[in-house]
Amino acid sequence: MRGISEGLAQKADVAVDWVKMRYRAWQGVLVVGAFAVAGYFVVPSGAPQDLVYSGIGIASTLCLLWAVRLNRPVERWGWYLIAIANALSSPPTGFSTSMT
């Protein structure tokens, strides 16, 4: 009987760590995103700035997909459509302005 209660206690600790990880994940994404946006204004204008813009767009799409996977909402198709629209709009904008 003692083994079962220890196993449940370990599972509870893992669940608490998972919640802490999810809480820290959005903070990490927020900090990295803030530095990326600040970096956009630091790099020279033109092609380098356009590539940073595209990178931010691609990263935001990946973060959206990661959040849908992590939170598993019941209605996830709307989130997938937002991610697809973001993925289709971000890179062409940066590359089209860097080619002209």
Tens of pLDDT along 23-78? 788 888 899 999 999 999 999 988 888 888 888 999 999 999 998 998 889 999 99
Q: Which residues of 13-50 are buried (b: 16+ CB within 10 A; e: fewer)?
A: eeeeeeeeeeeeeeeebeeeeeeeeeebeeeeeeeebb
Its pTM stands at 0.69
